[in-house]
Amino acid sequence: MTTDRGTTHVGEQPEAAGEQTGIDEIDVLWISEGMSCDGDTVSITAASQPSIEDVVLGIIPGLPKVNLHNKVLSPSLGGEDYLAPFRAAARGDLGRPFILVIEGSIPNQNIIEGDGFWTSFGNDLETGQPLTVNWWIDQLTPRAWAVVAAGTCATYGGIHAMAGNPTGSMGLVDYLGGEYRSQAGLPVVNVPGCPVQPDNFMETLTWLLFHAAGSAPPPPLDHMLRPQWLFGRTVHEGCDRAAYYEQADFALDYNSPKCQVRVGCWGPVVNCNVPKRGWMAGIGGCPNVGGICIGCTMPGFPDAFMPFMDEPTGGSLSSVLIKPYGAFIRRMRGITNAAVNKEPRWRHNEEALTSGYDPRWRA
């Protein structure tokens, strides 16, 4: 279905109607051994809506029991006991449905086939050779109840996939193909951001868990498979500095509180809710606090947004076009501001009441 924002409600597509719901226990198998800096895992430890602890400890009513397997949060700091559920899932005998979370971009192993490994996540028990992330994805994605790509590297390729890279890195959908559907009939769910905004990820995971329990429809995704309700607006639409833009009042250096489009902000064309939601717990939000938006959530990141500190392509034109309108608006606002910065004339300590009050009860 096409909505007013030109997006697709995956949940209303027949092929995405999840067969397997009513699940009461589920594993989350989280692999960050792609081309990754683990920044998304670190980011998600700051989530509060809900927190990862609330989900894992079963504090949220109606969610299935969740068994989380992430090496950073593993009490055994990795090792065979940590790898055991991954190996079981790859063999098809985990015994429970699982959500696969991929963090980091996927290298093109074909480029160096036979000459080494771009990634590794545990070793092959027979040969002792590293098992690549590509191998794990090949084994796990056909069996996964749902697959989530966390962060811009996993969703679209990100930093490691920029022009000139030697690894041929790509996003998960580039690797699996757009036709991929999980056991629940869902495409890969993309939650971009570098790193991912922690509550964006946890809210999406929680929606999926409610769907697994059978109490929610599949999450609505847009045409780039992002949660529609999180990525349907631009940075500019949520920026604290938007009024400066409207008045064509532009910062010329990074010390100014004004609109930063002239010093490199891409906010007008970037889908991201961080200015509204903050980086974590409502704190920060790039342009609100003086950091230009460099489009880190976007499929074209980073190449389409470089060089970062220059005025964006199209930015000069739009900032020139808005100048006469902005100057007029600024002047009108100045006049109105002066008018509303005065108290009304009837507020005085004189004998007569001049407020316009009409004492109707008096004869």
In the complex, minimum distance from the CB of residue 75 to ligand SF4, in angstroms, rounded to a whole number: 23
Of the pair 207, 245, the CB lying nearest ligand SF4 is at: 245
**Residues 122, 83 contacting (CB under 8 angstroms):** yes
- Tokens representing 214 are 């059978």
Distance CA(64)–CA(20), nearest Å, equals 13
CA 253 from chain centre, in angstroms, equals 28
CA distances from 165 to 35, 132, 254, 287 (A): 12, 19, 31, 29
- Residues that bind ligand SF4 in the complex, under the rule CB under 6 A: 36-37, 39-40, 103-104, 151-153, 158-159, 193-195, 235-236, 239, 241-242, 245, 259-261, 265, 267-268, 270, 272, 274-275, 286-287, 293-297
Of the pair 11, 193, the CB lying nearest ligand SF4 is at: 193
In the complex, minimum distance from the CB of residue 122 to ligand SF4, in angstroms, rounded to a whole number: 19
Closest CA to 277 of 313, 233, 341, 315: 233
In the complex, minimum distance from the CB of residue 63 to ligand SF4, in angstroms, rounded to a whole number: 25
In the complex, minimum distance from the CB of residue 227 to ligand SF4, in angstroms, rounded to a whole number: 14
DSSP string, 147-187: EEEESHHHHH-GGGGSTT-SS--B-HHHHH-TT---TTSPP
Closest CA to 270 of 154, 178, 192: 192
Of the pair 193, 220, the CB lying nearest ligand SF4 is at: 193
**Residues 145, 212 contacting (CB under 8 angstroms):** yes
In the complex, minimum distance from the CB of residue 140 to ligand SF4, in angstroms, rounded to a whole number: 19
Collapsing DSSP states into helix, strand and coil, what is residue 283?
strand
User: Which DSSP state fits 349?
Assistant: S
CA angle, residues 29, 72, 286, in degrees to nearest 5? 100
Residue type at 231 in one-letter notation: F
Comparing every residue's Cβ against ligand SF4, the nearest one is: 267
In the complex, minimum distance from the CB of residue 254 to ligand SF4, in angstroms, rounded to a whole number: 11
In the complex, minimum distance from the CB of residue 241 to ligand SF4, in angstroms, rounded to a whole number: 4
Of the pair 11, 267, the CB lying nearest ligand SF4 is at: 267
Of the pair 38, 67, the CB lying nearest ligand SF4 is at: 38
Of the pair 59, 72, the CB lying nearest ligand SF4 is at: 72
Collapsing DSSP states into helix, strand and coil, what is residue 123?
strand
The contacts of residue 255 (CB under 8 Å, 6+ apart) are: 290
Of the pair 26, 188, the CB lying nearest ligand SF4 is at: 188
